[in-house]
Chains A and B, each alone.
Chain A
């Protein structure tokens, strides 16, 4: 079996040692963890923030966390080095939802409670279009040069003037090894009889429909409306025929552990963690026909104060130091966007330095595709079709 496609045994064993600190967090339920942290701060309360602080809204389980001390080691170090009080909120749970929550304030130019936010590419594109993102002061982020060449010029921000990638996310197939001993490489493998009624796909349209489109031989960098609608119909049919059990966000992980789901269209990092927490009961692979890749981006909202912006830039710069990026990647297991982090990883966790899921080789990278950017009209129409297909 190609280790390129599955988690290597080495990776599994190293992750096995990390189980304790992660398992507690995830085991208590993403809810518990997020709720706890939200209760500590909740963003908006400290309107404007004090001059020496930075408020960062990020996705759950997306920064190295020390279970023993209940702190984020890299963020602590940043605060020690700079004296900036970094306030971290794990309350970016969903792109649309977060946008819905802060949009009114952005429109009115009122503080949204964050100096740094972490939207996915297409959502970052929307913020930039609407003028809700501030341009970086390049002098404050010298480490910007460390971004991987492949990520340096996305269509929505060609010179990376207001965004920098936080982590890259691969979308592909995840499965329960006992129920799918041969693994899942194609749509036919996914929709195999043993998975009937136990398949969960992502609410993230570009990943779910992206993987389906790729399976149908469509180039998602150039997808047309007809091709897209065709793939949506395919999904709708699989739902009404009882193959697909649910369309979910991060909760698909719980369905896999509870046995309610045996196969998913999911995200690399999640599957990596699930596998390590469950003694290799789960596995992930990039589909034969190709997987999706997208990025979550560090961005400074238009409503951040001058001090908040400066502190945010310092923090972004800090996370683009290869050693720091390696430390984060060793924990989150998503694609690391920073040049030189692989060499740093050799020092702290050599087993992970060869992980295709953190540092994809060119061969792997060539199998990952970016969903093309959509016009506002397309965005509304396509997501409407995608929502209706899931019964909404």
Chain B
């Protein structure tokens, strides 16, 4: 009551800031410190000391170029596939679903009711030798008798597309739903046919959803390791798998930390370029 007005915003910010400081800023500082350490001479497994070895970054990157490239390739593919699937879906829900709108929206979110891990393991069974997909495709001669689907890049990208699909669908739906149908009618009045109206009116107005959806899909997909671990093979490992293995298996904390920072930086750069290109004013 007697608080000077100017302090109120700070008080409101405090809980969020305190939380982020403890669980984001401090760990990041710790991670940064770890990333430049080297093993103690004569020390035991997992014992490191600070030597400001920035060469860790170079080494870590050079050793894992392939997995970095693969991560961004898979994430890009998964984002594109998710967009291709989600756009018509969101469009149909927003404009054509009538009284089924709420049910369809619940169905989009429904997969979240079970664990991410379980759903990915289920994919493994669906695509497995004794699932129905492989024998079906084989009997139709679409794939060869020896071809398998699990442990392939296809399975990893498919799993990622599936797992991140709701993150693409919901923002798309939100921005499509907000479009005033009268703008589309107006395009018709101006003699635009359906395709032109869609291209010139609907798509531009839904761009904020596209930008938000692609970011929400691409960023977690690039750092994902669950799909590659469960659905992939040694030839489809992503950078997340390398970080996990460095941290838990080799007990090489500095390299794991350096790789994490490199991944963060790479994502940040790519996202910045993307937003610049897409235009920030679209990101509402």
Binding site for B on A (CB under 8 A): 29, 31, 94, 96-97, 99-100, 103, 126, 129-130, 196-198, 203, 239-240, 244-247, 254, 258-260, 376, 379-380, 383-384, 387-392
Contact = CB atoms under 8 A, between A and B. Distances in A.
A390 B234 CA distance: 5
A246 B228 CA distance: 11
Contacts of B236: 391
- Report which residue of A94, A259, A380, A387 has the largest number of chain B beta carbons within 10 angstroms of its beta carbon: A387
Contacts of B124: 254, 258
A260 B45 contact: no
A391 B117 contact: no
A60 B191 CA distance: 68
Contact of A29 (B121, B129, B130): B121
Contact of B249 (A129, A376, A391, A392): A392
A103 B146 CA distance: 45
A260 B44 contact: no
Contact of B233 (A246, A376, A384, A388): A246
Given A96-B249, A391-B67, A239 B128 contact: no
21 contacts: A31-B121, A99-B251, A100-B251, A126-B44, A197-B146, A197-B148, A198-B148, A246-B233, A254-B124, A258-B125, A259-B128, A259-B130, A260-B148, A376-B44, A376-B45, A380-B45, A383-B249, A387-B245, A391-B67, A391-B241, A392-B237
A260 B151 contact: yes
Nearest to A384: B250
A238 to B, nearest CB: 10
B252 A384 contact: yes
Contacts of B246: 387, 392
Contact of B248 (A100, A129, A239): A100
Nearest to A379: B45
A288 to B, nearest CB: 27
Interface string B131-167: 1000000000000001010110000000000000000
A196 B125 CA distance: 20
B193 interface: no
B118 interface: yes
Nearest to A196: B146
A268 to B, nearest CB: 23
B43 A376 contact: yes
Contacts of B44: 126, 129-130, 376
Given A130-B44, A239-B233, 14 more contacts: A31-B117, A100-B251, A197-B151, A198-B148, A203-B249, A245-B233, A258-B129, A260-B151, A376-B44, A387-B246, A387-B249, A389-B234, A391-B67, A391-B235
B229 to A, nearest CB: 9
Interface string B259-278: 00000000000000000000
Interface of B: 39, 43-46, 63, 67, 117-118, 121, 124-125, 128-131, 146, 148, 150-151, 233-237, 241-242, 244-252
Return the 5 tightest CB-CB contacts between A and B, nearest first.
Answer: A259-B129, A391-B237, A392-B245, A391-B234, A258-B128
Nearest to A245: B151
A198 B148 CA distance: 9
Contact of B250 (A97, A126, A258, A387): A387
Contacts, number: 87
Contact of A380 (B118, B130, B148, B252): B252
B250 A239 contact: no
Contacts of A379: 45
A201 B234 CA distance: 11
A173 B146 CA distance: 23
B67 A96 contact: no
A258 B237 CA distance: 22
A96 B234 contact: no
Contacts of B248: 94, 96-97, 100
A260 B125 CA distance: 10
A31 B249 contact: no
Contacts of B244: 392
A368 B242 CA distance: 33
A249 B150 CA distance: 17
Nearest to B127: A260
A246 B130 CA distance: 18
A244 B234 contact: yes
A239 B233 CA distance: 9
A22 B121 CA distance: 21
Contact of B130 (A99, A258, A384): A258
Nearest to B44: A376
- Report which residue of B130, B150, B251 has the largest number of chain A beta carbons within 10 angstroms of its beta carbon: B251
Contacts of A239: 233-235
A379 B124 CA distance: 33
A197 B234 CA distance: 12
A103 B47 CA distance: 11
A380 B252 CA distance: 8
A380 B234 contact: no
A372 to B, nearest CB: 16
B40 to A, nearest CB: 10
A256 to B, nearest CB: 10
A100 B245 contact: no
A273 B8 CA distance: 64
A196 B144 CA distance: 14
A295 to B, nearest CB: 20
